[in-house]
């Protein structure tokens, strides 16, 4: 989902009601997408009892829907797209856990000052939508007490070529939306410098999934 990559108009075109409805329909029929399933796999092995979750730009909320059903006590869902946040609330009510989720129509930059810390912070396919990944990661990591889990595009020639083609198509449609392939090495260094170590890694042909746990204080 989106963070700070585009105008509100472009956001609603790219992530509007029709797209949100289609994504919710797909989720109900087929379950979480593959990156989400891998993030869930990595988080489950390190899930604190009664944990809290901050799901940043989580779209229809697939991650917190699944985690609230498997041990997480409460969640905050921060989402910039009004349509996706509405779909998230609809699904939360259907599943009977809406009272355990706080829905925040914002992005992490605007909301960071008022958001509480959480045991787990997740960014599923979000870093790729933001040109300033350093600020995004620092804000997100600053809210994570125990676990930080995220997915991002692999730095491969084929992936870069596909994303460059997609960006070109969006420009032709005059849509101010763009995706990025950031350096995995630089992101890992940044995360490690904040006191986290990798405890799970998985990949698909396009995506890398990493879960980090905070190192215990010396």
What residue numbers bound the domain in which 83 lies? 8-213
158 Ramachandran zone, left/alpha/beta (phi>0; psi -120 to 50): alpha
- Whether residue 203 lies inside any domain: the answer is yes
**CATH classification of the domain holding 26:** 3.40.50.150
Q: Phi/psi at 111 (nearest 5 deg)?
A: -95, -15
Residue 1 lies in a domain: no
In a domain, 121, yes or no: yes
Report yes or no on 36 lying in a domain: yes
- Residues 87 and 79: their CA atoms lie apart, in Å, by 11
Evaluate if residue 110 carries a pLDDT over 90: yes
pLDDT at residue 82 above 90?
yes
Q: Give a yes or no: residue 3 inside a domain.
A: no
Q: Is 218 within a domain?
A: no
Q: Within a domain: residue 77?
A: yes
Confirm whether 76 is domain-assigned: yes
173 vs 197, more confident: 197
Average pLDDT, the chain: 92
pLDDT at 10 exceeding the cut of 80: no
Query: Is pTM beyond 0.85 here?
Result: yes
Task: Please state, in angstroms and rounded to a whole number, the distance separating the CA atoms of residues 207 and 202.
Answer: 9
Confidence grade of residue 217 (pLDDT, cut at 50, 70, 90): low
Is residue 5's pLDDT more than 90?
Answer: no
pLDDT at 176: 77
- Number of structural domains (the chain) is 1
Residue keyed to tokens 């869902």: 77
Percent residues over pLDDT 70 in the chain: 93
């Amino acid at each position: 989902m989106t963070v700070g990559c585009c105008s509100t108009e472009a956001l609603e075109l790219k992530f509007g009601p029709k797209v949100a409805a289609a994504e919710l329909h797909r989720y109900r029929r087929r379950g979480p997408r593959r990156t989400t399933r891998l993030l869930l796999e990595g988080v489950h092995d390190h899930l604190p009892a009664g944990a809290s979750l901050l799901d940043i730009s989580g779209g229809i909320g697939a991650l917190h829907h699944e985690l609230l059903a498997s041990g997480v006590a409460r969640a905050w869902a921060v989402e910039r797209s009004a349509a996706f946040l509405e779909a998230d609330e609809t699904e939360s009510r259907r599943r009977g856990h809406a009272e355990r989720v706080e829905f925040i129509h914002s992005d992490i930059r605007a909301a960071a000052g008022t958001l509480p810390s959480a045991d787990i912070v997740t960014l599923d396919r979000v870093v790729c939508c933001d040109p300033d990944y350093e600020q995004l990661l620092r804000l997100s990591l600053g809210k994570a007490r125990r676990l930080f889990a995220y997915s991002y595009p692999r730095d491969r020639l084929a992936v870069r070529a596909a994303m460059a083609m997609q960006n070109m198509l969006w420009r032709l449609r005059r849509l101010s939306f763009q995706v990025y392939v950031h350096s995995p090495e630089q992101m890992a260094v940044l995360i490690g410098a904040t006191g986290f170590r990798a405890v799970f890694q998985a990949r698909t042909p396009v995506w890398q999934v990493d879960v980090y746990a905070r190192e215990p204080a010396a």
